[in-house]
Chain A
Amino acid sequence: MGRRSRLDEVLLAVTILAVLCAALSWLPVPLRALGALPLALVLPGYWLTAALLPSPALGPVSRAVLSVGFSIVVCVLAGLLLNLTSGGVSTTGWVLALGGITLLGSAVAWLRGGRMLEERPAPAIRSRLPGRRESTLLGLAAVLLVGAFGLARFSAAQHNRPDFTQLWMVPDAASAGRVIQLGLRNQEPAAQTFALELRVDGDIVNEWRPITLAPQQTWQAQVVAPDGRPFAGTVEALLYRADAPGQVYRHVLLRPAA
């Protein structure tokens, strides 16, 4: 059994593992992603080109290029075909399509038994493995790269942090103007204490204070018109912060329908 067969045996095992990882949706995401990513981006193209282009003329670099390229082609075409099915582009559809094409391709390639990779003497491959110096330098580069990525993510997360509060008031569509929904969400970096006033034509009809919200916490209330009829005047919600009680912080209003 030549090198090609050993490589294909390994890849066949990887293929089966990838199909299993993709199918087992309860697996933890990192594990599933690690196992299943080749099913979308490497294996379909590898087996398809192995089955249809078994020419030994294509070297390992060309094989790698065609594997990734035709895997993407398979994803594009499979997506178009899945769209024609009633299930559409669902997880099951993808696993069946990509798994099916990959396994079919591997079966054809296996049966055709063509030599895909150029035979190379083993020492040539061993000489390409990184030595201690190369491993150290590449490892250091990888560590720096992870650090740089971490820094980029950290600084983006730090400065993308929201620092505002959302206030909203919408009429309840099903109640024909008798009920309104009030909402408040603290998107500030720290906990905040608020006071909320509800006014109808300038008169305070309801008050909520204090409302203390942790970051990312939401407060909601449903207000029903006092007499059971739709709100007739302009309904306003005024929000104040506890540290500046005299200053309107947020302001929303609903005007009556004409």
Chain B
Amino acid sequence: MKRPRLVPEGPAAVRTVGTATVATRDRVMAAVNEPLGGWGRLPELALAAAVGLCLIAAGDAVSWRGERWGVVLFWAGLALLLTLFAARVLGRGAARGERLGLILVLGLACYLVKVFHSPLHVTDVDELSHWRTIDDILRTGHLFHENPLLTVSPFYPGLETTVAAVSRVSGLGIFPSALIVVGCGKLLLLLSLFLFFERLGGSARAASIACLIYTANPNFVFFDSMFSYESLALPLAAMLLYLAALVSRGELRLRPPLLLLFAGGAFAVAATHHMTSYLFLAVLTLWCLVAAFRSAGSDRWGEAKRLGVVTLVALTAVLAWTDLVSGLAIEYLQPVLGNAVLGLVKLALREQSARQLFKTSSGYTPAAWERYAGIASIALVLLSLPPGLLYVWRRCRRHAGVLTLAIAVLLYPATLALRLTSVGAETSNRASEFLFVAIGLVAALGLTGFEPRAVAWRRLRVLLLAPAAAVLFAGGLIIGTAPWARLPGPYLVGADDRSIDAEGIAAADWMRSTLGPGNRIASDRYGTLLMGSIGEQRAVTGLIDRIPTGLVTLFTSTEFSSDELQTLARGKIDYVEVDRRLSQSLPRGNYFDSDVPHTAPLDPAALAKFDADPSISRLYDSGKIAVYDVSELRYGP
């Protein structure tokens, strides 16, 4: 029997493992858990990261004052952080422990960019939707309440129960508890991915480069750092993938205790986020099939069988949860994904024109350099894939795990095509945090597999690649997060978290404390979010109450016609909240959910009509925001 190499340097080494006895496998395992090594340059780079974060915090502070040069500090901080970390990770000098440390510090730094952005309370659309779910859980002590802001959220309560556990046992409030849980999730994600990539790629260097590339996915800094279910489900799924990698290679034996743990983990992923659980299952299934049908391999059936068992366990868990919650997620996801595919088909058939990239529905276009950075980022990803795929084909095509990720990588160009459709752009964006797991490893294998022999050339390559990594990261951030949402600042109309301010929060707070929870109230997109979360109201939404266009015209029409009265009746609307600032400028994104494109700000007369009607009472006035009682109008004389 061929003696296995004790320090695997590439996937080729893994091939020998399958034939090894358990004792030999354990020896190999011990070797893969190679000494962590010294601190290397980690302390210096941690200091550099702290300096970068100081610049970002200063950029945020400047931006709060409404000054535009805060952006310069923000990008300078990120550039410092990324370039130095990339140079060290891409080079050959760092030991395993240092690489682990670098990846953890980088992950923590990226998470702190989001924390510095909103250090006092949750501000994002998704965060406020989940806030309602946890608020209901802590208020009533039970799960599965109706959430008018995000109907599926209460049926995927994994994040909320974890935050509730932390809050209850520690005595901390919801917000700090959420920060701690999501932060732990972020570190868990990167550590799990590192170990997973290390098992598949066979070296700590490839693993750390893969993690570095993963952090450049458009949703890493902001979206996956939010108080939102994917932020926790993704780390759990990554941890289970790592366990599956250990099982697939026979490094952990399939015994009932392991299966019990795996089943629990899969059930927790299924109960935390629908899409993550489905994609996790899809990856396991593909991996299992690849293991069974790859061209050769002495332990082909053994690996396929082991993976088959864990896939079956995951399938049972996901199906059980989906059945428990009555397939709500399918109902929720079907229109999103269906419309994305339909949009793509229509585009191919030339039944609709391509969406103009980097332009919002209200016509907002970011600066030219941002558009170029976004395009450069995508180009860098596309350029990094052919060498990686070539390496996989030459060296790892018998390695089921690597081959699975190489197949998954091929989906990336398809998701780019979705960006050309107006309905598919969001789907494409949301796919990136999953696809970058595959992109990270394949690109890293390409980078480590084809290296110049001469030291001088290798150094030159690192000098070129480090800024390229910074561009990759910056471009990803630009693609994934709207310009107005990257830095905090004064109120803006229809601009995600920039539309959440103290006056809106105070109105929601007043509504809850004075009129009590559960009143049916209609508002613009951000008023709806605040009333539905902090205000604990039954916010009327176009989607759930099936009045998407009616709700928009309720606020855009200058008079009460039969259509508006019908909307009030169909939505059973008792209260309306009006933010007069909507008439001051066009929205950066949308005024309302299910909004229509606007060419001019809302007509002030459309908002003033609530004051003019003789059957409407104005109950609340804080200057910019007013709350009206429209129940008389709804019920009629």
- A residues lining the B interface (CB < 8 Å): 22, 25, 27, 29, 32-33, 36-37, 39-41, 48-49, 51-53, 55-62, 64-66, 68-70, 72-80, 83, 87-91, 94-95, 98, 118, 124, 127-128, 130-131, 133-134, 137-138, 140-142, 144-145, 147-149, 151-162, 164-170, 181, 183, 185, 187, 250-255, 257-258
Given contacts A55-B252, A89-B168, contact A76 B162 (CB under 8 A): yes
A144-B51, A152-B61 given as contacts; is B622 within 8 A of A118 (CB)? Answer: no
Is B164 an interface residue, CB under 8 A from the partner?
A: yes
Check if B47 sits within 8 Å of A253, measured CB to CB.
Answer: no
Name B's A-contacting residues (CB within 8 A): 25-26, 29-30, 33, 35-36, 38-39, 42-44, 46-47, 49-51, 53-54, 56-58, 60-61, 64-65, 97, 100, 112, 115-120, 137-138, 140-144, 157-158, 160-162, 164-166, 168-172, 180-181, 184-185, 187-188, 191-192, 195, 232, 235-236, 239, 242-243, 251-252, 257-258, 260-261, 264-265, 267-268, 271-272, 488, 490, 501-503, 506-507, 510, 514-515, 614-624, 632, 636-637
**Could you jot down 19 A-B contacts, CB within 8 Å?**
A52-B257, A65-B188, A68-B187, A69-B192, A69-B236, A69-B239, A76-B162, A76-B268, A88-B142, A94-B169, A144-B51, A151-B60, A151-B61, A152-B115, A156-B488, A159-B488, A159-B490, A166-B510, A168-B510
Contact among B112, B144, B161 for A149, CB-based, below 8 A:
B112
Question: Are A255 and B614 neighbours in the complex by a CB distance under 8 Å?
Answer: yes
Q: Are B268 and A72 in contact (CB under 8 A)?
A: yes
Q: Do the beta carbons of A76 and B33 come within 8 Å of each other? A: no
Chain A residues with Cβ under 8 A from B143's Cβ? 79-80, 83, 89
- Shortest Cβ distance from residue B66 to the other chain A in the assembled complex, whole angstroms: 9
Residue of A nearest to B489 (CB): A159
- For B49, B164, B235, which residue has the most chain A Cβ atoms within 10 angstroms? B164
Q: Which residue of A41, A49, A141 is within 8 Å of B184 (Cβ)?
A: A41
Contact yes or no, A77 B264, CB < 8 A: yes
The reply to whether A162 and B119 form a contact with Cβ atoms under 8 Å apart is: no
Within 8 Å CB of A166, what residues of B? 506-507, 510, 620-622
Residue of chain B at shortest CB distance from A52:
B257
Q: A61-B33, A79-B164, A164-B503 are in contact. Are A148 and B158 (CB under 8 A)?
A: no
**B residues near A141, Cβ cutoff 8 Å:** 43, 46-47, 49-50
Task: Decide if A168 touches B621 in the complex (CB within 8 Å).
Answer: yes
CB distance from A104 to the nearest CB of B (A): 14
Residues of B within 8 Å of A76, CB to CB, are 157-158, 161-162, 267-268, 271-272
Point out the residue from A32, A75, A77 that lies within 8 Å of B267, measured CB to CB. A77
Q: B160 — which chain A residues lie within 8 A by C-beta? A: 79
| Contact with A37, one of B35, B118, B170, B188 (Cβ below 8 angstroms) | B170
Smallest CB separation, A110 vs chain B (Å): 16
Query: Closest Cβ of chain B: how far from A192's Cβ, in Å?
Result: 13
A77-B47 in contact given A52-B261, A90-B141 (Cβ < 8 Å): no
B239 touches A94 (CB 8 A): no
Docked-complex contact A168 and B619, CB < 8 angstroms: yes
Assess whether A164 is in contact with B170, with CB atoms less than 8 Å apart: no
A52-B258, A69-B236, A79-B143 given; 20 more Cβ-contact pairs under 8 Å: A29-B170, A32-B171, A41-B184, A66-B243, A69-B265, A75-B161, A76-B267, A77-B264, A94-B165, A94-B168, A138-B46, A141-B46, A141-B49, A152-B119, A155-B61, A156-B64, A162-B506, A250-B623, A251-B618, A252-B619
How far is B29's CA from A165's CA once the two chains are assembled, in angstroms? Answer: 66
Chain B minimum-CB-distance residue to A64: B191
* B166 in contact with A40 (CB, 8 Å): yes
**Residue contact A49 to B261, C-beta cutoff 8 Å:** yes
Asked whether A137 and B188 contact (CB < 8 A) given A33-B171, A124-B35, the answer is no
With A77-B268, A148-B53 known as contacts, the answer to whether A61 contacts B621 (CB < 8 A) is no
How far is it, in angstroms, between the C-alpha of A79 and the C-alpha of B344 when the chains are bound?
Answer: 41
CB of A27 within 8 A of CB of B171, answer yes
Q: For the complex, give the distance between the alpha carbons of A151 and B181 in Å.
A: 23
Q: With A144-B47, A144-B51, A156-B118 in contact, do A25 and B171 touch (Cβ < 8 Å)?
A: yes
The smallest C-beta distance from B243 to any residue of chain A, in angstroms, reads 8
Could you say which of A65, A98, A134, A255 contacts B615, with CB atoms under 8 Å apart?
A255
Closest to A18 in B: B169
> What residue of chain B has the Cβ atom nearest to residue A66's Cβ?
B239
Q: Which of A58, A131, A142, A166 has the most CB of B within 10 A?
A: A166
Which residues of A are found within 8 Å of B252, using beta-carbon distances? 53, 55, 57-58
Tell me which residues across on chain A come within 8 A of B119, comparing CB atoms: 149, 152-153, 156
Instruction: Give every chain A residue within 8 A of B488 (Cβ-Cβ).
Output: 156, 159
- Return chain B residues, CB-CB under 8 Å to A124: 35
Structural contact, B169 and A22, CB atoms closer than 8 A: yes
Q: Contact check: which of A65, A158, A168 meets B620 at CB < 8 Å?
A: A168
For the complex formed, measure the closest distance between the CB of B245 and the CB atoms of chain A, giving whole angstroms.
11
Asked, given contacts A89-B142, A152-B57, whether A252 binds B47 with beta carbons under 8 Å apart, the answer is: no
B259 — nearest CB in chain A belongs to which residue?
A52
Q: In the complex, are the beta carbons of A257 and B502 less than 8 A apart?
A: no
Q: CA separation between A62 and B191, bound complex, in Å? A: 9
> Are the C-beta atoms of A148 and B56 separated by less than 8 Å?
yes
Contact of B140 among A29, A77, A88 (CB under 8 A): A88
Find the residue from A27, A159, A251 having the highest chain B CB count within 10 A: A159
B50's partner among A60, A131, A145 (CB-CB below 8 A) is A145
- Inside 8 A of A48's CB, which chain B residues have their CB? 261
Closest 10 CB pairs of A and B: A79-B161, A88-B141, A59-B33, A137-B43, A52-B257, A155-B61, A144-B50, A152-B116, A57-B29, A69-B239
Give chain A nearest CB distance to B513 CB in angstroms. Answer: 10
Chain B residues with CB under 8 Å of A133's CB are: 43
* Given A69-B236, A168-B510, A57 and B251 contact (CB-CB distance below 8 Å): yes
